Amino acid sequence: DAKTTQPTSMDCAEGRAANLPCNHSTISGNEYVYWYRQIHSQGPQYIIHGLKNNETNEMASLIITEDRKSSTLILPHATLRDTAVYYCIVRASSTSYGKLTFGQGTILTVHP
């Protein structure tokens, strides 16, 4: 699976959009981009994933550049409960096989 690079930490004001970048310059054509987050003392939680097109669900939006070498996770109206570590992961298949390779992620702190 391709390696990802994320900033170590970011801050965001409550109610504002949080934009979390991820670089994955060695991504292959069959690799998906996944985002998970981990709130303190909890297990990771799936947020969203995509291959080429931008994706949106009830939690967030995922913007993938045309060359697929980077992506941005957008939390449109961040709340204090969005404070967590956010992991960007690329992996080869959207089937149930294979592992998730987590990096160190981005610590997002949402402040009042």
Give the binding site for other proteins (CB under 8 A). 41-46, 49, 85, 87, 91, 93-105
CB nearer to other proteins: give 19 or 94: 94
Q: How far is the CB of 83 from other proteins (least distance, A)?
A: 16
Quote the tokens at residue 4: 């990802």
The helix, strand and coil proportions of the chain, stated in percent and rounded to the nearest 5, come to 5, 45, 50
Q: How far is the CB of 102 from other proteins (least distance, A)?
A: 3
CB nearer to other proteins: give 8 or 66: 8
Q: How far is the CB of 55 from other proteins (least distance, A)?
A: 11
Residue entry with tokens 């900033």: 7
CB nearer to other proteins: give 73 or 105: 105
Q: At 87, which helix (H) or strand (E)? A: strand 84-91
Q: How far is the CB of 107 from other proteins (least distance, A)?
A: 10
Q: Which of 108, 48, 110 is nearest to 79 (CA)?
A: 110
Q: Report the alpha-carbon distance of residue 90 to residue 107 in Å, rounded.
A: 19
